[in-house]
């Protein structure tokens, strides 16, 4: 019994936000009378929150470094506006236009990075100025108009689905195959960690607990995969998010660049004295944020199939909140890419669940604030009780 209690406390400390996400899902599943987890709504949940997932992954690196970026919503807006001008007004082909938009996002991020890293202007001021600047330029470009429609290829980024290779009646075979591969990958990852612990003479958890982790992961992945397979299959944007997650999770956990960002966020002066070029790191972090905001701008405008002057309003707050909910520290140096994903999912489930319940936008804002505060408080209190 003591071993069970100790195991639960240790894992609750590490996985508090997973528990919070499950509680929120169960709550809304009950109160929406089962609508929340219907296959079509699971698909909608992914599509509607794809931009937050992308922004949160980029924002996590900014927050780990000890700062925030207030401009990302406006970058999303101007990327959509310029994309509309290129593809709708000027009739530019989709692929060259997307490349231009990505380069533009990198340039905007580098623009911020120069002022922050090399001119030592506080990031809050620089990104606040960027928020105003790019929002204003968006309105100038669009002139109060909405540009639509985008080409079908561009629209398919957010509204398209991966083709079904198996053609099984009533279910998407491709989604089933990918789901099975993900479950196998999750099991392999657990056993690989166990082997590494033994290699370095660390005591691994009891085998039964690792098996339990695999079963829970298989149930979660299997449910999502089956829901997608029963609807239209795997959304193209989910593949994009999966690729971005794999890349950024690898960078954060396995590379020198990732370790340097964590070191800079933990103590910038100590990192500088240890030989890390903190100016270059800061420049890189904000340049990357511009790149991720450009991807989010492409995803969001493709989802709407339109460029609008009000696109991106409040997106920076969604991304920042997702990171803090996912376990990032306001003082920097702490956070994971997976945490950003979990935080964004918490935000998405709350928004989607309240909309299904027919709660008005005024009450949605108040309730969402309280639920987000409760989720973070749950995380903090759980960690303190285990320290």
Range of 50's domain? 38-160+235-386
| 174 neighbors 233 (Cβ within 8 angstroms) | yes
Q: ∠ at Cα 133 (131, 139), nearest 5°?
A: 100
Specify the pLDDT at position 325. Answer: 84
Q: Say what the pLDDT of residue 205 is.
A: 72
Q: pLDDT class for 65, splitting at 50, 70, 90?
A: very high
Residue with tokens 């998010």: 241
Q: Quick check: is 118 in a domain?
A: yes
Band (pLDDT 50/70/90 cuts) for residue 289 is very high
Sole residue written with tokens 């082909």: 93
133 part of a folded domain:
yes
pLDDT of residue 299: 96
Query: What percent of the chain lies above the pLDDT cut of 70?
Result: 92
The rounded Cα 262 to chain-centroid distance in angstroms is: 19
pLDDT at 5: 61
Whether 27 is in a domain gets the answer no
Q: Is residue 18 domain-resident? A: no
**Residue 95: how many other CB atoms lie within 10 Å:** 10
208 inside domain: no
Q: What integer is the mean pLDDT of 363-380?
A: 72
Give the integer Cα–Cα distance in Å for 168 and 188. 28
pLDDT in tens, 37-48: 898 999 999 998
Question: Which pLDDT band holds residue 196 (cuts at 50, 70, 90)?
Answer: confident
Indicate whether 386 pLDDT > 60.
no
Whether 330 is covered by a domain: the verdict is yes
What is the rounded CA–CA span in Å between residue 143 and residue 137?
Answer: 10
- The answer to whether residue 365 sits within a structural domain is yes
Mean predicted confidence (pLDDT) in 148-153 = 93
Whole-number pLDDT of residue 115: 96
Does residue 58 have a pLDDT over 90?
A: yes
pLDDT at 110 over 60: yes
State the average pLDDT over residues 292-321: 93
Q: Please determine, for residue 250, whether its predicted confidence score (pLDDT) is greater than 90.
A: yes
pLDDT at 321: 86
* Residue 7 pLDDT exceeds 60: no
Residue 368 lies in a domain: yes
Helices (H) and strands (E) in the chain, counts: 17, 0
Both tokens assigned to 228: 């997608």
Residue 376 has pLDDT above 90, yes or no: no
Neighbour tally for 172: CB within 10 Å = 26
CB 336 within 8 A of CB 327: yes
Report the distance separating Cα 364 and Cα 358, nearest Å. Answer: 10
Percent of the chain residues topping a pLDDT of 90: 55
Q: How confident is the model at residue 11 (pLDDT cuts 50, 70, 90)?
A: low
d(CA 109, CA 199): 42
CATH (domain of 49): 1.10.3470
User: Please, which pLDDT band fits residue 61 given cuts at 50, 70 and 90?
Assistant: very high
For the chain, what is the domain count? 1
Average pLDDT, the chain: 88
- Quick one: average pLDDT of 81-104? 96
Count of other CB atoms within 10 angstroms of residue 29: 16
- Report DSSP letters for 234-251, one per residue: -BHHHHHHHHHHHHHHHH
Separation between Cα atoms, residue 101 and residue 324, nearest integer Å: 29
Give the pLDDT mean for 103-117. 96
Return the residue matching tokens 């990302």.
72
């Amino acid at each position: 019994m003591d071993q069970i209690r100790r195991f639960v406390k240790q894992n609750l400390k590490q996985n508090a936000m997973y528990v919070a996400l499950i509680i929120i899902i169960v709550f809304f599943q009950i109160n929406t009378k089962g609508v929340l987890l219907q296959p079509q709504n699971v698909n909608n949940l992914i599509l509607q929150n794809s931009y937050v997932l992308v922004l949160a992954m980029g924002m996590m690196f900014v927050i780990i470094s000890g700062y925030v970026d207030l401009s990302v919503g406006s970058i999303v807006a101007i990327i959509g506006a310029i994309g509309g001008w290129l593809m709708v007004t000027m009739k530019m082909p989709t692929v060259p236009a997307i490349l231009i938009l990505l380069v533009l996002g990198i340039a905007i991020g580098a623009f911020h990075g120069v002022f922050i890293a090399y001119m030592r202007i506080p990031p809050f001021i620089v990104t606040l100025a960027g928020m105003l600047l790019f929002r204003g330029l968006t309105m100038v470009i669009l002139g109060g108009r909405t540009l639509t429609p985008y080409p079908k290829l561009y629209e398919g980024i957010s509204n398209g689905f991966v083709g079904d290779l198996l053609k099984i009646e009533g279910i998407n075979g491709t989604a089933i195959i990918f789901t099975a591969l993900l479950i196998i990958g999750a099991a392999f990852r657990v056993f690989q960690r166990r082997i590494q612990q033994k290699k370095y003479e660390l005591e691994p958890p009891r085998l039964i607990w690792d098996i339990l982790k695999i079963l829970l992961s298989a149930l979660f992945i299997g449910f999502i995969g089956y829901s997608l397979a029963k609807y239209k299959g795997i959304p193209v944007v989910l593949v994009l998010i999966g690729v971005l997650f794999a890349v950024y999770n690898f960078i954060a956990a396995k590379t020198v660049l990732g370790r340097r960002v964590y070191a800079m966020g933990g103590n910038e002066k100590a990192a500088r004295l240890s030989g890390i070029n903190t100016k270059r790191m800061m420049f890189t972090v904000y340049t990357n944020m511009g790149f991720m905001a450009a991807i989010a701008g492409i995803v969001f405008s493709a989802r709407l199939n339109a460029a609008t002057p009000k696109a991106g309003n409040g997106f920076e707050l969604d991304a920042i909140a997702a990171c803090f909910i996912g376990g990032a520290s306001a003082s920097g140096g702490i956070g994971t890419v997976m945490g950003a994903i979990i935080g964004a999912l918490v935000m998405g489930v709350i928004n989607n669940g309240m909309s299904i319940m027919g709660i008005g936008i005024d009450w949605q804002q108040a309730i969402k604030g309280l639920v987000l505060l409760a989720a973070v408080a749950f995380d903090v209190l759980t960690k303190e009780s285990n320290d």
